[in-house]
Homo-oligomer: A and B are copies of this chain.
Amino acid sequence: MGSQERRTEQRREQREALRERILEVSREIVKREGFASLSMRKLAEAIDYSPAALYLHFKSRGDIARALRVEGHASLRDAFLAHTSIADPAARLNAMGRAYVEFGLAEPETYRLMFMEHTDSAQAVAEAQRKGDDHAAEQGAATLSLIADAFAELRAADRLPAHAAPLACAEGLWANLHGIVALKLTGAALPETPATTLVELSLDAWFAPANRTEPRFISANRPDTSTR
């Protein structure tokens, strides 16, 4: 009985180890060449097993993608957590925004896998949500709430108009920064402005009044307060 248990325990550990190894190699291939060029054959050769062996640990190629997305979201979340100690919510959002873009540019292929090639049909997405196995989306939502929380703090301090929902603001800021990363990653000739400058402009647009004495754009209608 005792030895029996030990044996099955060993089996389980070996199994786990191989799964981990598959994931590890996959991660490296994706980082280097992108998920598109991660084929089951190539992967099998790299770990010195036959292609068929992979299907004992992952249901499909897409299943590996899911696992890698989960890893990616965890590491993005870590990048955010490094800034949670910043007290001022606007300053915190600035730091997290910068961290987000840095993450995307530092790990372009992982970022692509997470946010740019999830082209599943709408019904597949709904299916995954219903079954509750879209772990990446759950993680994404959790990370996003770090941002939403900061916006909620801004609102609590009356530094955000009442009509702006914190979650919507968080998603808006996220989308804006995603655009910068995405355009850079597609490698087109435009935009020619460096990403850091684009980030600066975007964050200033959102948080300028919190960072400087003059608003970024001066209204033509508003009375000039400097002549009082």
Contacts and interface: CB of A to CB of B under 8 A. Distances in A.
Contacts of A125: 187-189
Size bin of chain A's contact surface: 35 or more
Contact of A178 (B90, B183, B209, B215): B183
Interface in A194-210: 197-198, 201-202, 205-210
Nearest to A159: B218
A97 to B, nearest CB: 12
Number of copies: 2
B219 A186 contact: no
B217 A193 contact: no
B217 A210 contact: yes
Nearest to A169: B201
Contacts of A119: 186-187
The 5 A-B residue pairs with the shortest CB-CB distance in the complex, in nearest-first order? A179-B179, A171-B191, A172-B201, A176-B176, A209-B219
Interface of A: 88, 90, 115-122, 125, 129, 134, 137, 140-141, 144, 154, 157-161, 164-165, 167-169, 171-172, 174-180, 182-183, 186-193, 197-198, 201-202, 205-211, 213-222, 225, 228
27 contacts: A116-B186, A118-B186, A118-B187, A119-B186, A125-B189, A137-B188, A141-B190, A157-B220, A159-B218, A160-B218, A171-B191, A171-B193, A171-B198, A172-B193, A174-B179, A175-B176, A175-B179, A175-B191, A175-B198, A176-B176, A176-B205, A179-B182, A205-B206, A206-B217, A210-B220, A213-B219, A213-B221
